[in-house]
Structure formats: structure tokens, C-alpha cells
Amino acid sequence: MTAEGARPPVLDVRDVTKVYGAGDTAVHALRGVSLTVAQGDYVAVMGASGSGKSTLMNILGCLDVPTGGRYLLAGTDVGRLDERRLAILRNRRIGFVFQSFNLIPRMSAQANVELPLAYGGVRAAERRRRAQAALREVGLADRARHEPNELSGGQQQRVAVARALVTAPTLLLADEPTGALDSASTADILGVFDRLSETGRTIVVITHEDEVAAHARRVVRLRDGRVVEDVRRVPEVAR
Ligand code: ADP
Ligand code: MG
């Protein structure tokens, strides 16, 4: 265990650029984004459509690499990794939640949550135990045997959150997690994120909804590929 002060930030983004294509048709999706996120922070990334949110999310999630600048994830320089190492880092460090829940139909909630552990080679008994704990964390212990089509949208998204958490990732990264939900289910998911934040999880949520951002500790706003605002709403907690 390193000393508190020596622990690197979870995210350290330094002057990152992303250009799609080349020449006359090049799109400058990110034009020099810098951002650090410490462990335990809860950040909403906002911005109009086309401002670069998904591009940034893909880079933060190690699904894509920047054109320029540097990105360190928990101290690891992502730009120096090959595809295979990038995949390992992604699987170990990041729990993804998407707008569409992406659950596997005709598989119980429990089995869906166990899936990332099965890929990771965790034994069956241990998988069961950890999946149950993750489902408890999102308040769905009593729905473990239900299949996705027997659950509401909000419950399905909670299963997806449990699946993201089950590997104990360094970062929970969500892209428009409430985009497909009604207001009651949205409140439900935001409540789950609030609780996860209170227990020290690091959360970055990409959203265009003020209601979602109102739950975060900090709001970062993108415009035309640049950070134009970075406001802390709730004091940072020492962890
Ligand atoms: P947001 O998620 O905020 O809507 P995006 O990151 O998806 O923004 O897009 C930022 C800009 O980059 C937009 O102009 C978009 O058209 C462009 N873009 C995104 N992905 C690609 C791609 N794969 N190829 C070319 N242009 C892209
Ligand atoms: Mg987007």
C-alpha cells in the first residue's frame, strides 16, 4: 500500500487531442483536453451533441487511443500499451455502463453479472458470491433469478451496473446511463450512483441531462472538443 499522497490520480488526461480522418475532411473531435480525477470523485461530463463526449469516453475507457497528448489510467501510460495490454487494463480497471443495458437475454440477472468473472477465470463459487454481493449493492438481491425481460428498464440498468462493479474496477464509466429510462427509473439509477459514490467509488458519467449532473460532485463541460467549464459542486473528500 502506497502512502496516501503518493497514489496517482485515477484519470490523468494531458492535452489530449483526437482527429478522425485526415486532410480536408479531418474532424477535430478533441482539441486539447486536460483533466485529472482523483479516487472517490464523481464527475459528470456534459456538452451538446457533437462536443466530443463519446470520443472522450472511448479514450477514458481505453476503447480508443488519443491522436496526441497523454492519458494515464491509475498511473499507467495508456499510449504505450499494445492492443492486448490495453484490453487487460480495460478489463481490470474499468466498469462500463451504456445507455442500452446490453444484458444477455434468457440468462438470469445473476448469470449476467457473473459473466465478466467467467471471462476472468474466477471459480464458480467465488463468481456466485461476488455476483450476489454486486446485486445486493444495487438493491436487486431478490431479483437474481429473473431474466432481463422479467425486469423493468431501471432494474435492467441496475443489473448492468452490478455487472460493471463485479470486477471491482478502479473506475465506473457510464455513457448516458439514464438516456433510455423513464423518470422513476432515472431516479433509481441516480440513487444507486449516489450510494456507490458515498462508499468511495470513482464515477465518471457522460450525460446531457441536468438532473444527472446535479448528483455529481463535479461537472465538466465540453464544447467543440475543449473543456470550457470544470466546476466542483461538492467538496472533494479525502480518501
Ligand atoms: P458527442 O458524444 O458529444 O455527441 P462525439 O464524440 O460523438 O460527440 O463526436 C465529436 C465529433 O467527432 C463530431 O463532430 C462527430 O461527428 C465526430 N466523430 C465522432 N466519431 C467519429 C468517427 N468515428 N469518424 C469521424 N468523425 C467522428
Ligand atoms: Mg455521444
pLDDT at 80 exceeding the cut of 90: no
Residues with CB under 5 A from ligand 2 (ion): 53-54
Ligand 2 centroid–CA 172 distance in Å is 17
Ligand 2 centroid–CA 213 distance in Å is 16
Q: What pTM was estimated for this model as a whole?
A: 0.92
Q: Using the structure block, give the residue that is written with the C-alpha cell 495490454.
A: 85
H-assigned helices in 67-108? 83-93
Fold of 38-64+83-232: Rossmann fold (3.40.50)
Q: What is the mean pLDDT of residues 55-62?
A: 95
Indicate which ligand has the atom closest to the C-alpha of 49: 1
Q: Provide residues with CB under 6 Å of ligand 1.
A: 20-21, 27, 29, 47, 49-55
Q: Which atom of ligand 1 is nearest to the CA of 222?
A: 3
Q: What is the mean pLDDT of residues 94-100?
A: 95
Residue 79 pLDDT class (50, 70, 90 cuts) = confident
Q: Using the structure block, give the residue that is written with the C-alpha cell 438532473.
A: 211
Q: What is the C-alpha to C-alpha distance for residues 13 and 89, in angstroms, rounded to an integer?
A: 16
Share the mean pLDDT of the chain: 93
pLDDT at 88 exceeding the cut of 60: yes
Q: What is the C-alpha to C-alpha distance for residues 108 and 29, in angstroms, rounded to an integer?
A: 39
Task: List, for residues 20-42, the tens digit of each pLDDT value.
Answer: 999 999 999 999 999 999 999 99
Q: What is the C-alpha to C-alpha distance for residues 16 and 54, in angstroms, rounded to an integer?
A: 14
Task: List, for residues 99-155, the tens digit of each pLDDT value.
Answer: 999 999 999 999 999 999 987 789 999 999 999 999 999 999 999 999 999 999 999
In the chain, where the domains are located: 38-64+83-232
Q: Name the residue type at position 10.
A: V
